[in-house]
Amino acid sequence: MKTYYNNDGNPYTLETLISFDSIQTESDKVARVINEKYEKIHIIGLLKGSFVFMTDLIRKITIPLTLDFMAVSSYEGTESTGEVKILKELNEPIGGKDIIILEDIVDTGLTLVKTVELLKTRAPKSIMIVSLLDKPSRRTMDSSADIACFEIPDEFVVGYGIDYEQRHRELKDICKVVFPATG
């Protein structure tokens, strides 16, 4: 097993948690739901973690769509700060549109709650939240995705667009970051 080193020089390894094939199977299901429910949609990908999921998913959607990106964060490193920052705003109005928010992970729920609150002030027709991963054990806010592809334990994960210190987004699988036991 390959050993990696974080920015502080601490070693860690990666263990596959969810395979690329499993992700594709779930994204097929999500696309079917979207294709059956809507006539046209506007997808908002929450950067940076959702971009690979978004890329694969939009190729499976058969209805007309437009898309945009938004960058919202409540994290520094591996920990939630408890404060949500908008790092990149939308480029176009969403009023009157059926919106699909694509999220990489619903963790504490803080980022999701604040993002939805903000978007609702812009008068979309509807909002559906689709998350690749869900960590319900970490939830501190009353929020959840309308569709969550995978429920995962309280593990720090990377791959398939999700990073650790801007690394490992290129991995096809979703992997858990394993730090050696200390003490």
- pLDDT tens for 91-141 read 999 999 999 999 999 988 888 888 999 999 999 999 999 999 999 887 777
Q: Is the pLDDT of residue 78 over 60?
A: no
Asked whether residue 43 is assigned to any structural domain, the reply reads yes
Q: Which domain holds residue 46?
A: 20-178
Tokens of 5: 């080193």
Sheet bearing 79-88, strands edge to edge = 79-88, 65-76, 41-47, 98-106, 126-134, 147-151
Residues annotated as part of the active site: 107
DSSP-assigned beta bridge partners for residue 100? 43, 128
Inside any domain, residue 154: yes
Take residue 70 and report the two structure tokens written for it.
Answer: 């938004």
Residue 37 lies in a domain: yes
- The structure's pTM equals 0.89
Q: Is 161 a member of any domain?
A: yes
| Predicted pLDDT of residue 79 | 63
Domain count, the chain: 1
What proportion of the chain, given as a percentage, has pLDDT over 70?
A: 94
CATH number for 110:
3.40.50.2020
Is residue 84 domain-resident? yes
pLDDT at 182 over 80: no
